[in-house]
Structure 1
């Protein structure tokens, strides 16, 4: 009985102190009119107890129930409930409210030393911030987590590396994104379960390799993501992995199989009303037919993608597809329509500026092509230099190499002395790209 009473006193004392500090009250302010400060101090140290009527008055001042004060680690229980409210708000699509809840849990779990809850809330915070493109905050949070040396599991480390990579990818730093995804991949061998996170790592690595033109490696990771999605019965994830696998296949020249996969996944996406995926598949099919110079088919699919993205107000994807339409019109010699599509794409890109740096670079490159065909070579050079500057600013060495090589070859054709310097830059970009590819 003595032990039970002592334990009860300890719990009440700890909870009173935590909630008092949380409320920002001094012992004088909480005790005023109810008991002496010395008595409250003894209660908080678990050496004595208060009458329940006094405890109830104190609970009212603290904004909690007396039952909460008497609970086993009441604050931990309350913070866990608040974190669940953050999760529910995210599910309901209220990101702002979810962030309010999760920031509160982060602050209080750090102040009162709940490391497990702190890690979980930080993970949710990073995920939410990436969702609204607050990538710099995510990078700062993850760097802080690793500097704090918190007691993390392999799953925790994997999650933070993954969100770190997403933040860098969204902010335009492909090299840092790639490194973070590779570190996440290294943690997978230490996991016993969590197949959903494994899928995200595989899919992210596939996507970054795809953007780096490492097509065979991208194909391998898309196939791993596809298999994982199938194993955990995630229909939408499986569809996305499958049609992205087809996208890589068509770049590797396997048009027939890619076309068959696109047709099948387009039907699945349409039947299940996965609108964003309907748009992406139509876009990718349009690109395939564009490469095969089947311009009628290409225009049809790209135009369908545009309509879907306009309905969804997805500015990044809309910008990308408009530029493919611009490229199509350039190939058919319709330069006025080319410029119109580019201008529309640039206008759209302003609404998603953080995510459309590559599209802005491509827009400048296409405008340069038009200027070259119209006989204005210096304007062509200016546009390609703008594209190069964008790639430099965002550490995109692969596309930068292609642009530098194109510009150097055009200088060479004209016996322009600037060819030597641009060839040198192209070689430097290529060396960086090769070094980048050797890291994994």
Structure 2
């Protein structure tokens, strides 16, 4: 009773002591053998459980020498350990392959229960990881290609920006030269305007002098006409004096000796009258010639006055045109200076754009390099794709510094 009570409480250390004859002896040996077999079996089970608790599932119960329920327990525990070990080894094998970036491994053994769910979950994890890595690989190739295109585009943009900066610099230099030329032209136009205004004033003064000359020539012509009239009077007086002297000579001849002295005087008076008449005719001829010349001179002076009026009008027009040229030149000078300032601003903006392009090119190159590194990392995974892995495009040439 003591041994069976201890056995009921899980104590396998108790034995039936002493020697008993007959059936009691057989019972003693049977109980002690059963307790010993239970103890050995429990010790083996404890060793297997402790090994399993440490993650070692290769330990098994001995089946040799066991029979009945003990054999069934040993075989059942061994089968359980084998199933657990096989399931965990399959999972470990797949996880080891995943650690080595091999996503093609699968659990081919059929498992039930929790190991079946573990197999299904492992396969789902593998498939999700494979799809994720495949998408990452495709995205990496797309990023790599886009980064390469961006690098090529930045290289072309950098070259164009550099050419544009050079063109703007040359244009700015030419605009500076043009600005100087236009400024000089404006100064010359203002100087010409001043000279034109002076010439216009001088022409107006000349026109006034010509008009005065025309008036004076008219007065001279009027005076010459009056002198001609006076000369005609003198000629008439000389004619009358000549007639009177002739009459006096006739009367003196009639008087005889008494009229000789009077005849001499009459002859002298007649001679003076004739000389006066001759002088008057000569003066009349000269005055007529002078009047004719004065008339021609007056016509010339009038023509000169008309020409001078035209000159004055032309000078006024020229002065107005020069003034307009000076005004337009001033406006053009301001416009050219504004264009020069705008070109300077464009040149500064172009330089900033060149710096931004260089930074963008460096960023694109860094992106391309990182995409290549990511592609290298992703390329280490074995996905088991039916299609070959896409090949990354060649790297773009390095962008030079502007």
Which category of TM-score, normalised to the shorter sequence, fits these structures?
under 0.3
Report the TM-score, using the length of structure 2 for normalisation: 0.21
Based on CA coordinates, which of the two structures has the bigger radius of gyration?
2
